[in-house]
Structure 1
Amino acid sequence: MRAGPPPPTRPAAPTEVSRRALVAAVAGVLVFTASAFVAVRHLRDAFAPGPMSLGRLVVGSVVLGLLLLASRSWRPMSARDWVATSAAGVLLFGVYNIAINAGAGRVDAGTAALVNQTAPAVIALLAVVVLRERLSRSAVLGTALAFGGVATIALGASSGVEGDLVGVLLCLAAAFAYAVGAVVEKPLVARVPALQLTWVACTVGAVACLPFAAALHAEVRAASASDLGWLVFLGVGPTAVAFAAFAFALRSMDASALGTTTYLVPPLAIAMSWVALGETPPGSAYLGGALSLVGVALAQRTGRGSRDPGPSHPDPARDRTTSHD
């Protein structure tokens, strides 16, 4: 689920029943997002990164398409919007998934989640260049801390004792692909319904992965029922259900507040990975991850100065969905 949420509006005051539903929705987003890293680790021997991406995106596209049909929320898109959405889909769903699948196949799920969490800091940097936004001093410090944390993880991995440097760099590449896609997508979220935007982007991502169709067919035939179940889970849970839960949660809470809950994803991924796979991150990942999370928090909390006059759009560095993984 790597497409941006709808434009933020004033949240409605939740009732007691809707509060429980809201808590369940937020918990669903976090659990599904964290579990995606564990699922990728589990499937690394059964599916190569490309075929795994195609299988997940096909399932996600079907489920999101059914949700879109049920919502009847389709809105006509201009040719320019189709081009931008397609570019975002290739990056957010195609390139991101292939890179994170390859990276998470080489490092533990917790390390992959920690490195991936730097995406908002990358978005902040890109927003300066592409969207002409200004960063405060605190945001500059936060961005530096975030990348210092990744450097700490990478240095530990480069020793060959505490992980895999190539895996860390692939996870970082995934974060960059997501960030570029989010910046491309930013103007669209004010004009295109969120569910429609996500379905189109996911479908484009699946089409971009079609060169892996033959390999996916062969790997599906050789896979166990359990592995096929995990592949379907990646498409249904982190891609489709998590997005629907995120969209539901946005109705009752600010996007920025919802975005801060994503800091729980790495600890959840570490715990799930330890229980399901018996894996824990190396020591350098804990230190580097802590630096990265503190840096991202600073970049998101105070990351925006004034910008050039223009249309107001949601900030993807704050409104970031995390089921992208």
Structure 2
Amino acid sequence: MYFGTYLSLVLTTFFWGATFIAGRSLAGAVPPATAAFFRFTIASAALLILCRLIDGRLTVPPPRLWFSLFLLGLTGVFSYNICFFTGLHYIEAGRASLIIALNPLAITLFASLLLKEPLAPRQFIGVIVSLIGALFVISNGHPSVIYNGDFGKGELAILGCVASWATYSLVGRSVLKTMTPLSAVFYSSVIGSLLLLLPALREGSLIEAVNYSTLTIGNLAFLGLCGTAIGFSLYYQAIRKIGATRSGVFINLVPFFAIILSWLILGESIKPVVLSGGVLVLAGVTLTNMPTRKNTAIAPQQLSSRQ
């Protein structure tokens, strides 16, 4: 009955998994802020069209929401993508995807620490399991590196993605009470693009876009169109048809696709111990975010993915 919806969710997670490969491919070719600026400029134009097609119109935010939308652009677009492209300059795409798989866990922890939302025993166990797995993923199989405080810029940058997305998702709660998800993503994308313009100009490489290779242009277009605009629209249409809970289960496919594609396209490989840590991360995240009877609306992490 919902075969088409499930197929669209698989396609969406495939797109999101492939963003890690596109981002890794851009490393060295386009500076982080410039890559992010082009990605979300493309995404903003596509989202404007999709908002009109899917929502029927573009909702104008009330004045009280503009500060929240600014925070969404600052965290979910600006800081997330600076960290994303910086991190992929240093570490493998597959391992980065396993670290970013901590997003739902970080949202749960932020909500507990900042908003005083209680953790059920099951959620607490899930947190512990995920953190154990994260030790092996972040340290590339050498947890002692973390204990010594000696791990690289790439890992720190990808952890910055996780912190940025957790903040973005929690701020998005208030916005989603008034605006449609696609409209919220559109405005945050536009604001984030404007915030990215200045650091992109400082990198001094915007004008070099005229000399970009076909592969570089293709990667930027893929990130903006498939990884952001089309991915979000397919995902939110699925939420409307089968609900946030069943749609959210498919998020676990993102690192799977990222690892497979990084092996096929980039020739990357992941240590078995790191892969085992990734399995623990996903198991703990699943346990932490298992639906409860009260959890029937769009959960805070459903404002994303993984971009």
| TM-score, L = length of structure 2 | 0.90
2:243/2:297 contact within 8 Å kept: no
Cα deviation, residue 177, structure 1:
0.5
Instruction: Find the aligned partners of 2:235 and 2:180 in 1 and give their Cα distance.
Output: 14
Cα 1:79–1:198 shift into 2, 3 Å: same
Amino acid at match of 1:188: V
Identity of aligned residues (%): 24
**Equivalent in the alignment of 2:21:** 38
Cα deviation, residue 247, structure 1:
1.5
Amino acid at match of 1:57: F
Q: Which residue of 171, 179, 192 corresponds with 2:158?
A: 171
Instruction: Find the aligned partners of 2:228 and 2:95 in 1 and give their Cα distance.
Output: 21
Cα offsets for 1:251-304 (capped at 9, x unmatched)? 2212111111111111111111111111122334212211211111111016x7
Whether 1:257 and 2:241 are equivalent positions in the alignment is: no
**Equivalent in the alignment of 2:47:** 64
Q: Which residue of 111, 117, 130 corresponds with 1:133?
A: 117
Instruction: Find the aligned partners of 1:275 and 1:185 in 2 and give their Cα distance.
Output: 36
Instruction: Find the aligned partners of 2:43 and 2:100 in 1 and give their Cα distance.
Output: 21
Instruction: Find the aligned partners of 2:182 and 2:205 in 1 and give their Cα distance.
Output: 27
**Equivalent in the alignment of 2:106:** 122
2:86/2:157 contact within 8 Å kept: yes
Instruction: Find the aligned partners of 1:204 and 1:35 in 2 and give their Cα distance.
Output: 25
Classify the secondary structure of the residue corresponding to 2:298: coil
**Equivalent in the alignment of 1:99:** 83
Cα deviation, residue 158, structure 1:
6.4
Instruction: Find the aligned partners of 1:202 and 1:265 in 2 and give their Cα distance.
Output: 21
**Equivalent in the alignment of 2:148:** none
**Equivalent in the alignment of 1:5:** none
1:259/1:321 contact within 8 Å kept: no
1:44/1:105 contact within 8 Å kept: yes
Instruction: Find the aligned partners of 1:93 and 1:49 in 2 and give their Cα distance.
Output: 12
**Equivalent in the alignment of 2:264:** 275
2:106/2:162 contact within 8 Å kept: yes
What is the correspondence of 1:218-237 to structure 2 with a 5 Å cutoff? 218-237=207-226
Q: Which residue of 91, 94, 117 corresponds with 1:110?
A: 94
**Equivalent in the alignment of 1:3:** none
1:29/1:323 contact within 8 Å kept: no
Where does structure 1 differ by over 4 angstroms across 4 or more consecutive aligned residues? Answer: 304-307
**Equivalent in the alignment of 1:26:** 9
**Equivalent in the alignment of 1:208:** 195
Cα deviation, residue 176, structure 1:
0.9
1:58/1:235 contact within 8 Å kept: yes
Cα deviation, residue 306, structure 1:
8.7
What is the correspondence of 1:71-82 to structure 2 with a 5 Å cutoff? 71-82=55-66
Amino acid at match of 1:87: L
Instruction: Find the aligned partners of 1:132 and 1:265 in 2 and give their Cα distance.
Output: 30
Higher helix share: 2
**Equivalent in the alignment of 1:196:** 183
**Equivalent in the alignment of 2:231:** 242
Instruction: Find the aligned partners of 1:106 and 1:299 in 2 and give their Cα distance.
Output: 30
Whether 1:186 and 2:170 are equivalent positions in the alignment is: no
Q: Which residue of 270, 275, 280 corresponds with 1:291?
A: 280
| TM-score, L = length of structure 1 | 0.85
Amino acid at match of 2:218: G
Cα deviation, residue 169, structure 1:
2.1
Cα deviation, residue 146, structure 1:
1.6
Cα 1:119–1:263 shift into 2, 3 Å: same
Question: What 5-or-longer segments of structure 2 have no aligned partner?
Answer: 146-150
1:186/1:313 contact within 8 Å kept: no
**Equivalent in the alignment of 1:151:** 135
Cα deviation, residue 92, structure 1:
0.6
